[in-house]
Amino acid sequence: MPSSCSPFDTSRIRVAPSRVAALAAASALATACVQSAPPKTTTPPQPVQVALENQHQVIAGFGASSAWTAPSLTDAEADQFFSPATGIGLSLLRLRIAPDGTTELATAQSAAARGVSVWAAPWSPPAEWKDNNSTSNGGSLIVADAQAWANRLAGFAANMAAAGVPLVALSAQNEPNFHTPTWDTCVFTPPQLVAFIRDNLGPALAAQGLTTPILAPETKDWTTFESFADPILDDAQAAAYVSILAAHAYGGFPFVYQRAQAAGKQVWETEVYDQTTKGSDPGIDSGLAVAQLIHDHLVYGEVNAWHYWWLKPRTSSENGALAGGDGQLTRRAYVVGNWSRFVRPGFVRVDATPSPQYFVYVSAFADPASGRMVIVAINSGTADAEQVFSIPGSGLGAVTPWITSADFALAPTDPVPIADAEFTFVLPKRSVTTFVGDP
């Protein structure tokens, strides 16, 4: 059970009757409990102003990949990953297409049965169709074999539909600007990728009678993303086949890609893992690192979808997966759930003060269909943070907080009443809190 100084002590997670009373209570508690103080600021914390009328991107979902490590899932595992009622509610699954055209079909079927949207990406064509005669260490697709490879990918999409898993997108190539001897890769220049989409993959899908959207370029980072995405949009035929522009987040910083928005196309972040936390960390340190990645991509990159790398790990000594080596969900998985369980496909991000005080980061979302509102607040500091939230025009009477911290894994607490379109909440130190409100 939490002590009186724990981050989940309900006496500290409250709505203050007034800001003066709240500050007085917080001061009294600070005298009784030894804790780290936040840095001094020259201005007081600002209220979070949520403006429901100022809308940004439509959310397509949050996901992770089954590549190599999750060929199948037990029902319990599938529920913990994909259920929005009992799990973290991932709404997207990214499959790997092997050179021979096979994939993690059992996992895909488990996900699809739970309402998850499934898409797939190839890492390499067969060795004999590449100029280095290897599936790894780079190498490029031989032009004479490009149509055969495109036909295999289109056939894969058709076979998945026949197996009850219609793909919501098909990637042209995973990380076309990266190569390694360690795993499957295939290198494309921007003009080569455009030609493959325009002359081979797009027509191959059409020949199968498929309207599966193509996703590209899936560069390894944001730094090189535009150098691949711009040529796709510059080519009218290639652009007509591509509905989603995508990047991985292994470099650079997410930004709003205006050309995609102008062309009516979505932007997805499709792979990243925590590379900043040292060692294998299933705890809140890694969780907060991942929370910052999600926040930055949604707020500053305005991405429509966000993905972690793996569902399940290759080994227990890495931070590349949402589950740990023991099969249990890590804190970073529950942090992803602070968004994925509640911010469902079709929600729209709305304006909210992104950083109202030191160490606090906020994003907000609304569902046009149901009127549900979701606010996600990160407190990465080592002290609790009292925060005012103003949500005029919401018509909400209360919100329910769901907290992930060192001690709690997406745990709900008592509903917080809203008065005069405002509520105050003490964000526990080193935590992520999701506020859910229904009209």
Q: For residues 343 and 389, is the Cβ–Cβ distance under 8 A? A: no
In a 3-state reduction of DSSP, which class is residue 212?
coil
Which ranges constitute the DSSP H helices of 221-330? Answer: 225-234, 236-241, 258-262, 284-299
Nearest to 410 by CA among 436, 430, 432, 388: 432
253-288 confidence digits (pLDDT tens): 999 999 999 999 999 999 999 999 888 999 999 999
Given a cut of 50, the residues of the chain with pLDDT beneath it are: 1-42
The dihedral built from the CA positions of residue 32, 33, 39 and 44, taken in this order, carries a sign that is negative
The model carries a pTM of 0.90
Bridge-partner residues for 93, per DSSP? 64, 118
Q: Can you give the pLDDT at residue 258?
A: 97
68-110 confidence digits (pLDDT tens): 999 999 999 999 999 999 999 999 999 999 999 999 999 999 9
In a 3-state reduction of DSSP, which class is residue 282?
coil
Q: For residues 323 and 63, is the Cβ–Cβ distance under 8 A? A: no
Domain architecture of the chain: domains with CATH: 19-55+349-437 (2.60.40.1180), 60-345 (3.20.20.80)
